[in-house]
Amino acid sequence: MRSTAEQSVDTITEAALPPRSRPSAAIGRSLRRSQVTDTIVLMAIHPIVVYGEPVLHRRAEKITEFDEDLAELVADMHETLDASNGVGLAAPQIGVGKSIFVFNADDDYGVRRRGTFVNPVLIASKVPDTRPDPDDETEGCLSVPSLDFPLKRADRVTVNGFDEKGEPVTLSADGWFARIMQHEYDHLQGTLYVDRLDKRWSKKWKKAQEAHGYDQPGLSWMPGVDPDPFGH
């Protein structure tokens, strides 16, 4: 899921500090980020596939082996998410049809939550049967670049799953963070937020989809290399 304008990015704060007061880890990270060619190799940032790519539109497969390959894939997903300035990323978005998503965002109480769900199961409160508020309930997706649309979501969720080591993880959330959980969980069912829009917004999406060519396979973009599609 893309971030909103209100979501601050921690690296901006680090970069704003005078060089001598930066912690060394932050310097290392900044340097690696500035070397675009090396970044791809060292950090294994993956291209993000766009709506129309079949892997996005089918149910992801469950993970059965919690091994080194999984740990590497999860690490790559976090790197890719950071480089994309997003708040959540599901494995199908990097072309891997596995039941994994990662997230990194502040919740409604200002607490930064960063983590991983493997084979998650989501339980949500009822989605209100009202129109979404375009100011407060607009959503975007890294796989639907440069667009956003209002969508009603459940206010409360609980997610149960595992981390990359196979340890059980449970997370309850409301508001904005609950929205992120629903968005990412949807990805693992082969559903994108634009597939859930009400009649009015769905019409606008269909037009934009055609205009952007998001109705056929083959499109992708590279976080940290291509211009940020959401202007972050």
The residues assigned a catalytic role are: 184
CA 38/CA 103 separation, integer angstroms: 24
Smallest gap from residue 118 Cβ to Zn ion (A): 18
Cβ contacts of 133 within 8 Å, gap of 6 or more: 150
Give 171's strand partners. 159
Region of 224 please: left (phi>0), alpha (psi -120 to 50) or beta: left
When the beta carbons of 29 and 196 are compared against Zn ion, the nearer one is 196
When the beta carbons of 1 and 171 are compared against Zn ion, the nearer one is 1
Structure tokens at 60: 């992801």
212 in a labelled binding site: no
Q: What is the DSSP string of 16-76?
A: HS-GGGS-HHHHHHHHHHH-HHHHHHHH-PPPEE-TT-GGGGSPPBPP---SHHHHHHHHH
Task: Give the footprint of Zn ion on residues 119-148 (CB under 5 A).
Answer: 141
183 in a labelled binding site: yes
Q: What angle do CA 148, 191, 155 make, to 5 degrees?
A: 65
57 in a labelled binding site: no
Smallest gap from residue 114 Cβ to Zn ion (A): 17
Smallest gap from residue 90 Cβ to Zn ion (A): 7
When the beta carbons of 29 and 84 are compared against Zn ion, the nearer one is 84
Under DSSP, the state recorded for 220 is: E
- What end-to-end distance do the CA atoms of the chain give, in Å? 13
Assess 81 for contact with Zn ion (CB under 5 A): no
When the beta carbons of 29 and 152 are compared against Zn ion, the nearer one is 152
Report the binding-site residues.
141, 183, 187
Report the binding-site residues for Fe cation.
141, 183, 187
Using CB under 5 A as the criterion, which residues of the chain lie in contact with Zn ion when the complex forms? 1, 141
